[in-house]
Amino acid sequence: MSISTSPVHSIHEYANGIYKVVTFKGSRDPDNAYLRIPDATQHYDNKLDNSFSRARNMVLQYALCNSWDYFFTGTIDRAKFDRFNLDVYQSRLSQFVRDKRKKYQSQIQYLLVPEQHKDGAWHIHGLISGLPEDAISLFAPPAPQRLIDGGFLNWPDYMTTFGFCSLAPIRDAIATAYYITKYISKDLSQRQSDLGKHLYFHSRPLKKAVKASDVYLYNRPLDELCINDYDFCKTSMVYGEDWTFPYVWDGAEAPELLPLVPVVPDPDFQPMTIEPDFQQLKMEGYL
């Protein structure tokens, strides 16, 4: 059995002064480095949980580390595409965005999470940026009144190609980033034999978090904060401090820890979203 030397904590920097502190499980010895004994077994359920966690982590990274303009909801018109075939939709959407980048002369970016209706058909929610003003428009009759009154925007090129969509300007970037991760559900991850890589999909290139520091030596204040502070542990995210932890392997004296401000998303927050109502949209001539 091998034993590897690993950090006690790993700190990654997101955008806008947001950091994530990852605290690793294992033996802690105040006088020594963290020692990890690898577990040689991993059951299928654990793999599903890991896939779910990785997907949510990556969606949060892409959501926080990039600048987004709109929260996007898109549907698939049954007259245009097979609403049950996510592979075909993703492929055509990727080509569609490449074509619109050329047409608009704009670097359109997107981060999208598929969601199924009860009948198994797909629609998507996500984040988008780079759409020029002349490519979007306000909703007008005969669009549903809730779209008009709510200030939602239409992307006519998408609607012509795929089906109904709506765009809502982002009001709170951090809260919206956390909100989009809710669409990565455990039910979705358990269907990965059907979905494969489609727990989410995104344009390229997108920025990701970068490692700021590894903490190899035990530090009681930081360790206790990460383990015992409930608000901190819910997200592992902190902001409002311009810091990294300059700990080094040789055990050099570390500076006094700065206070950590936990990122605790408002559980009641919802961005301006419009859930597809297919019967109403069909009656209004949108499907």
Same-domain pairing of 107 and 76: yes
Residue 187 and residue 199 share a domain? yes
Buried b (16+ CB within 10 A) or exposed e, 212-238: bbbbbbbbeebbebbeeeeebeeebbb
Mark whether 69 and 167 lie in a shared domain. Answer: yes
Q: What is the pLDDT of residues 21-37, one digit of tens each?
A: 777 765 555 455 444 44
Domain check: are 134 and 148 in the same one?
Answer: yes
Q: Are residues 25 and 67 in the same domain?
A: no
Query: pLDDT by residue (tens digit) across 129-157?
Result: 999 999 999 998 888 888 888 889 999 99
Same-domain check for residues 85 and 147: yes
Q: Say whether both 118 and 193 belong to one domain.
A: yes
For residue 27, what are the CA distances in angstroms to 6, 35, 46, 127? Answer: 11, 6, 21, 40
Comparing 3 with 264, the larger pLDDT belongs to: 264
Residues 129 and 248 in one domain: no
User: Domain span at residue 228?
Assistant: 4-56+207-262
Q: Which letter does DSSP use for residue 277 in this model? A: -
Say whether both 25 and 136 belong to one domain.
Answer: no
- What domain count does the chain have? 2
Query: What single letter denotes the amino acid at residue 47?
Result: K
The answer on 47 and 179 residing in a single domain is no
Structure confidence by residue, pLDDT tens digits, 101-132 = 999 999 999 999 998 887 888 999 999 999 99
Same domain assignment for residues 275 and 139: yes
> 211 pLDDT band (50/70/90 cuts)?
confident
